[in-house]
């Protein structure tokens, strides 16, 4: 193409004048202008050439890179339901090689519909597809010179409020004073909202590890822990409690009712994800807002929750629910029911910023999850590339550079790679 342009200009200049003329000068200037013009965003030229992946955290975190014929690379991440999926990544990649990455929705549907009989409704298939879909948005943004939020239709806000998941895991048998100290630490770091786990598999007061009914002593423990948190931070800080879907409906009702005086921002997943009627029963029984969605997939999976009025707040995980485009569709559906959107997020800073682009692009965004390990675990600083501060005073500023604005640091990630699995090969 470049050669043909030059031939045309050369012949045009010769046929117009044999000596140095203004027109000849124009031809040379025009030729230089063409050469300076970025051509990487040409939809007809940009093609996917390969997809490679790497895993860390015992296979629980999948990172994907999509390569093109113009050396533009897209980065994406999937979590939780991704262990052992290396060959699934490669299989999905084969569906879209040779195609333009700018047709993000088309490629998403190509892969999803190819897996209708392979589990494309939820779980591993969707979590892997999510990582690929995210990388496609990143790639498209880089090719077109636009941040992802702009590709999603623009932004309602420049910064995204986040709450601190304190990672004060109940497996360590924390006491109420530990809750209070962790909450104070988060507030001192500038956060205005915190979250704690209430489920405790090794609580000595449990009836047994398989019984999902909380004993009176367990209930008292939960209340004491959350009460200490509220007392430590006062009434102007938001507090969330997570039960990880590990209790039965009667326990969910009791905990929600018991915690009403503490004015929680929400009680998260008191029961497993699959029973909409149980959620509806709990939500109707309490003034404590009930939140769910971490283990729901696609817009289809959220429709029953919203139609039934089963939850007060939805929290899709944008690293496994179907991706950034699907996350926006889920949020927009929730908006028609006046339900807030508060994404779950347990990924790296790549996943956090990818999620932030969606949060910026929807009107009903409430708050997004943030992890204490970003501050305390060196690995999370080594596995990605980005410039500037990650979070400031409890807010993430949405990046205005093309794509997501955060990239995989393959070299930094290498020492954390899962053994026995190909690493970006």
Taking only the tens place, the pLDDT of each residue in 74-89 is 999 999 999 999 999 9
d(CA 331, CA 329): 5
Task: State the pLDDT at residue 15.
Answer: 42
Task: State the pLDDT at residue 14.
Answer: 41
Considering the domain architecture, whether residues 311 and 274 belong to the same structural domain is answered as yes
Domain hosting residue 83, numbered range: 48-146
Considering the domain architecture, whether residues 78 and 124 belong to the same structural domain is answered as yes
Domain count within the chain: 2
The whole-number average pLDDT for the span 235-247 is 97
Note whether residue 37 is domain-resident: no
Note whether residue 288 is domain-resident: yes
Note whether residue 291 is domain-resident: yes
Considering the domain architecture, whether residues 241 and 355 belong to the same structural domain is answered as yes
Last residue of a domain, one of 146, 170, 188: 146
Last residue of a domain, one of 128, 146, 164: 146
Task: State the pLDDT at residue 113.
Answer: 95
Considering the domain architecture, whether residues 103 and 248 belong to the same structural domain is answered as no
In angstroms, the Cα distances linking 415 to 57, 123, 276, 348 are: 11, 28, 42, 16
Considering the domain architecture, whether residues 238 and 360 belong to the same structural domain is answered as yes
Residue 336 belongs to a domain with what CATH number?
3.20.20.120
Note whether residue 355 is domain-resident: yes
Considering the domain architecture, whether residues 82 and 164 belong to the same structural domain is answered as no
Note whether residue 205 is domain-resident: yes
Is residue 73's pLDDT more than 50? yes
The whole-number average pLDDT for the span 362-380 is 96
Is residue 69's pLDDT more than 70? yes
Considering the domain architecture, whether residues 134 and 196 belong to the same structural domain is answered as no
Note whether residue 75 is domain-resident: yes
Residues 6+ apart with CB under 8 A from 171: 200, 201, 202
Considering the domain architecture, whether residues 64 and 164 belong to the same structural domain is answered as no
The whole-number average pLDDT for the span 141-158 is 97
Considering the domain architecture, whether residues 154 and 141 belong to the same structural domain is answered as no
């Amino acid at each position: 193409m470049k050669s043909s342009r030059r031939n045309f200009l050369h012949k045009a200049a010769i046929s117009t004048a044999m000596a140095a003329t203004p027109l000849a000068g124009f031809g040379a200037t025009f030729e230089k202008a063409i050469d300076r013009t970025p051509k990487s965003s040409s939809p007809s030229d940009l093609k996917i050439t390969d997809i490679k992946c790497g895993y860390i955290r015992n296979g629980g975190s999948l990172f994907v890179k999509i390569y093109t014929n113009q050396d533009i690379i897209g980065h994406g991440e999937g979590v939780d339901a991704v262990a052992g999926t290396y060959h699934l990544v490669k299989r999905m990649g084969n569906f879209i090689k040779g195609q333009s990455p700018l047709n993000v929705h088309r490629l998403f549907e190509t892969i999803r519909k190819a897996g209708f009989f392979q589990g494309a409704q939820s779980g591993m298939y969707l979590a892997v597809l999510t990582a690929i879909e995210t990388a496609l948005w990143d790639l498209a943004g880089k090719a077109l010179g636009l941040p992802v939020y702009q590709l999603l239709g623009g932004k309602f806000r420049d910064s995204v409020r986040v709450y601190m998941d304190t990672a004060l895991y109940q497996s360590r048998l924390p006491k109420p004073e530990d809750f209070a100290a962790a909450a104070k630490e988060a507030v001192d770091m500038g956060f205005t909202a915190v979250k704690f786990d209430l489920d405790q598999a090794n609580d000595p007061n449990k009836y047994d590890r398989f019984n999902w009914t909380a004993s009176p002593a367990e209930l008292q423990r939960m209340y004491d822990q959350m009460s200490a948190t509220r007392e430590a931070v006062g009434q102007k800080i938001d507090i969330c409690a997570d039960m990880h879907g590990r209790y039965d409906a009667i326990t969910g009702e009791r905990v929600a009712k018991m915690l009403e005086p503490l004015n929680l921002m929400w009680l998260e997943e008191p029961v497993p994800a699959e029973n909409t009627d149980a959620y509806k029963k709990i939500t109707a029984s309490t003034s404590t807002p009930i939140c769910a969605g971490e283990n729901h997939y696609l817009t289809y999976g959220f429709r029953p929750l919203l139609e039934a009025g089963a939850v007060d707040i939805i929290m899709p995980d944008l690293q496994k629910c179907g991706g950034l485009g699907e996350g926006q569709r889920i949020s927009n559906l929730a908006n028609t029911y006046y339900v807030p959107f508060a994404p779950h997020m347990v990924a790296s800073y790549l996943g956090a910023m990818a999620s932030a682009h969606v949060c910026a692009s929807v009107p009903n965004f409430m708050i997004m999850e943030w992890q204490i390990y970003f501050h305390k675990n060196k690995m999370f600083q080594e596995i990605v590339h980005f410039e500037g501060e990650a979070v400031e005073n409890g807010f993430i500023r949405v990046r205005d550079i093309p794509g997501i604005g955060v990239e995989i640091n393959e070299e930094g990630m290498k020492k954390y790679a899962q053994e026995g699995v190909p690493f970006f090969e």
